[in-house]
């Protein structure tokens, strides 16, 4: 019901973080952003749509007597997506898929919607931003067809709810939450109040009718979903779809998961025919011909529980400035400074008059210390004009005294290197005696210090 004007009280709500205040402020005291407070109508408890939720009247039950429904999870038809979700979608859950505009959220969900419907589930795709024919056009380009996928172009929540109740789908996709509005709220679609209430209403719908709902949310330019704090704690899972605008690969990352781990990632390639799964991501980031150059090193990093081989490059040269510049793309800047400091102090290499550039091929971001030894060897080989053997992979964290420290998931990294045809891997000394023999077809070299690693794999340039 529309709210009568004589009763309305207004409040100012930060459109970035959801902070509320009774008067206008230029700067949000909570998240610090400027000019984000907008006036919205305050709802009384009765008018608050969320308070109209259906009451569930279950008796308390003993944990041992609760039965688990075995059909609780189902596949999206995309293995990479399933893994990020923790082995598929959970029946009756509410998932938020967030990402930059144009990254491929609609494409991903249209592809999975088709797969899900072809597996015998009824699915309703609510296109709140596009017309049905636009969705059909996309489906045609992606070569998708299905006989139980309903497209509904609508952005009014009450009408969407009516059709969900009539159609009784197993899965509903809302594309996107920012375009949906409820009649109960007077503020415009996309405002924090609308997003919050619509998500709340969708949550009720999902839990009361056991419908799996996936909502798409656009990330605003400063990296937050509009009303992010408000949305993230309400939904069951939050998944980010990221990627480089200039590269075709996309990464699916789980930020919150009530039903599984949050450290898995899924990798896709965006092509004309839609998103292709990348089952062997290491190949995407490697360029084997270029590795036999000073400054190029291949490391085995971890994305979630999956190992990933990536190439790190360093460029070291005399500086035109009073002191050398350090530029680090893909590796944490402070980590790079720390590695340079260790090289200077422990190995006596003077880099103060040298510029050092670090780059990770393919635009990957590496956030783990296990890349340290690779970065150090890239800098060293470039500075001294030598090379790391091209069929060698480097793993290891560097401590401040120059020691190589253990890393996690080592076994998987070794197996990945061996699978991709590498002949040697340099690792920290952490294997138990006899374990080394388990790895066939790859020479495993354990090192304690940076110098050991250098003597194990660094050679003169052979033209």
Ligand X SMILES: Nc1ncnc2c1ncn2[C@@H]1O[C@H](COP(=O)(O)OP(=O)(O)O)[C@@H](O)[C@H]1O
Residues lying near ligand X in the complex (CB under 6 A): 99, 101-107, 141, 270, 272
Which lies closer to ligand X via its Cβ, residue 103 or residue 267?
103
Which lies closer to ligand X via its Cβ, residue 32 or residue 102?
102
Pick the stretch among 105-113, 179-187, 351-359, 425-433 that binds Mg ion (CB under 5 A). 105-113
Which lies closer to Mg ion via its Cβ, residue 133 or residue 323?
133
Which lies closer to Mg ion via its Cβ, residue 106 or residue 282?
106
Which lies closer to Mg ion via its Cβ, residue 107 or residue 200?
107
CA–CA gap between residue 270 and residue 276 (Å, rounded): 6
The answer to whether residue 302 forms part of the interface with Mg ion (CB under 5 A) is: no
The values of phi and psi at residue 258, to 5°, are: -75, -15
> Looking up tokens 């990330």, which residue turns up?
219
Residues 6+ apart with CB under 8 A from 233: none
The answer to whether residue 106 forms part of the interface with Mg ion (CB under 5 A) is: yes
Question: In the bound complex, what is the minimum distance in angstroms from residue 138's beta carbon to Mg ion?
Answer: 9
Question: In the bound complex, what is the minimum distance in angstroms from residue 386's beta carbon to Mg ion?
Answer: 49
CA–CA gap between residue 130 and residue 310 (Å, rounded): 38
Angle among Cα 194, 197, 200 to the nearest 5 degrees reads 145
Which option in Mg ion, ligand X, none does residue 166 bind, with CB closer than 5 to 8 A by kind?
Answer: none
Residues 6+ apart with CB under 8 A from 453: 373, 377, 394, 396, 404, 426, 447
Question: In the bound complex, what is the minimum distance in angstroms from residue 37's beta carbon to ligand X?
Answer: 27
CA–CA gap between residue 217 and residue 202 (Å, rounded): 14
The values of phi and psi at residue 331, to 5°, are: -120, 140
Which option in ligand X, Mg ion, none does residue 272 bind, with CB closer than 5 to 8 A by kind?
Answer: ligand X
Which lies closer to ligand X via its Cβ, residue 142 or residue 456?
142
Question: In the bound complex, what is the minimum distance in angstroms from residue 123's beta carbon to Mg ion?
Answer: 17
Question: In the bound complex, what is the minimum distance in angstroms from residue 340's beta carbon to Mg ion?
Answer: 43
Question: In the bound complex, what is the minimum distance in angstroms from residue 104's beta carbon to ligand X?
Answer: 4
**Which residues partner with 253 through β-bridges?**
240, 265
Which lies closer to ligand X via its Cβ, residue 243 or residue 281?
243
Question: In the bound complex, what is the minimum distance in angstroms from residue 86's beta carbon to Mg ion?
Answer: 24
Which option in Mg ion, ligand X, none does residue 99 bind, with CB closer than 5 to 8 A by kind?
Answer: ligand X
Which option in Mg ion, ligand X, none does residue 104 bind, with CB closer than 5 to 8 A by kind?
Answer: ligand X
Q: Are 114 and 146 in contact (CB under 8 A)?
A: yes
Which option in ligand X, Mg ion, none does residue 107 bind, with CB closer than 5 to 8 A by kind?
Answer: ligand X
In residues, how long is the chain?
A: 463
Residues 6+ apart with CB under 8 A from 192: 13, 14, 15, 18, 38, 40, 226, 227, 230
**Residue nearest Mg ion, Cβ-based:** 106
Which option in ligand X, Mg ion, none does residue 421 bind, with CB closer than 5 to 8 A by kind?
Answer: none
What is the chain's alpha carbon radius of gyration, rounded to the nearest angstrom? 27
Picking from 79, 85, 115, the residue whose alpha carbon sits closest to that of residue 214 is 85
The answer to whether residue 111 forms part of the interface with Mg ion (CB under 5 A) is: no
Question: In the bound complex, what is the minimum distance in angstroms from residue 204's beta carbon to Mg ion?
Answer: 25
Q: Are 371 and 299 in contact (CB under 8 A)?
A: yes
Q: Are 423 and 443 in contact (CB under 8 A)?
A: yes
Which option in Mg ion, ligand X, none does residue 270 bind, with CB closer than 5 to 8 A by kind?
Answer: ligand X
Which H/E stretch holds residue 275?
A: strand 274-277
| Residue numbers at the binding site for Mg ion (CB under 5 A) | 106
């Amino acid at each position: 019901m529309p709210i009568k004007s004589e009763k309305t009280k207004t409040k100012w709500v930060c459109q970035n973080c959801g902070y509320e205040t009774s008067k206008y402020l230029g700067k949000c005291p909570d998240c610090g952003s400027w000019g984000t407070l907008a006036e919205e109508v305050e709802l009384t408890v009765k008018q608050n749509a969320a308070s109209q939720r259906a009451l569930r009247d279950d008796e308390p039950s003993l944990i041992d007597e609760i039965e688990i429904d075995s059909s609780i999870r189902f596949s999206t038809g995309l293995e990479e997506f399933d893994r990020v979700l923790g082995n598929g979608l959970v029946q009756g859950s509410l998932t938020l898929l967030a990402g930059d505009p144009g990254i491929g959220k609609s494409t991903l969900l249209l592809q999975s919607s088709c797969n899900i419907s072809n597996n015998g589930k009824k699915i309703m795709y609510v296109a709140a931003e596009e017309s049905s024919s636009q969705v059909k056009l996309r489906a045609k380009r992606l070569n998708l067809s299905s006989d139980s996928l309903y497209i509904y172009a609508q952005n009014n929540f009450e009408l969407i709810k009516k059709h969900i109740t009539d159609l009784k789908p197993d899965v509903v996709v809302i594309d996107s939450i920012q375009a949906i509005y409820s009649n109960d709220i007077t503020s415009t679609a996309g405002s924090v109040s609308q997003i919050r209430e619509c998500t709340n209403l969708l949550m009720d719908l999902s839990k009361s009718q056991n419908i799996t709902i996936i909502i798409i949310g656009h990330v605003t330019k400063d990296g937050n979903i509009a009303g992010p704090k408000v949305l993230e704690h309400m939904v069951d899972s939050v998944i980010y779809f990221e990627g480089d605008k200039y590269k075709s690969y996309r990464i699916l990352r789980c930020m919150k998961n009530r039903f599984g781990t949050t450290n898995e990632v899924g990798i896709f390639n965006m092509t004309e025919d839609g998103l292709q799964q990348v089952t062997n991501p290491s190949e995407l980031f490697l360029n084997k011909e270029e590795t036999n150059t000073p400054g190029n090193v291949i490391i085995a990093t971890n994305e979630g529980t999956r190992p990933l081989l990536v190439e790190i490059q360093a460029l070291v040269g005399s500086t035109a400035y009073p002191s050398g510049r350090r530029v680090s793309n893909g590796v944490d800047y402070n980590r790079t400074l720390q590695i340079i400091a260790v090289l200077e102090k422990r190995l006596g290499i003077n880099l103060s008059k040298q510029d050092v550039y670090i780059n990770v091929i393919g635009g990957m971001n590496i956030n783990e210390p296990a890349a340290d030894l690779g970065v150090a060897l890239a800098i060293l080989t470039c500075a001294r004009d030598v090379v790391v053997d091209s069929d060698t992979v480097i793993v290891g964290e560097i401590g401040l005294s120059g020691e190589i420290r253990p890393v996690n998931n080592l076994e998987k990294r070794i197996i990945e290197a061996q699978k991709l045809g590498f002949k040697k891997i340099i690792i920290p000394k952490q294997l138990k005696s006899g374990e080394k023999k388990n790895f066939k077809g790859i020479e495993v070299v354990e090192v304690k210090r940076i110098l050991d690693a250098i003597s194990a794999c660094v050679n003169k340039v052979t033209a």
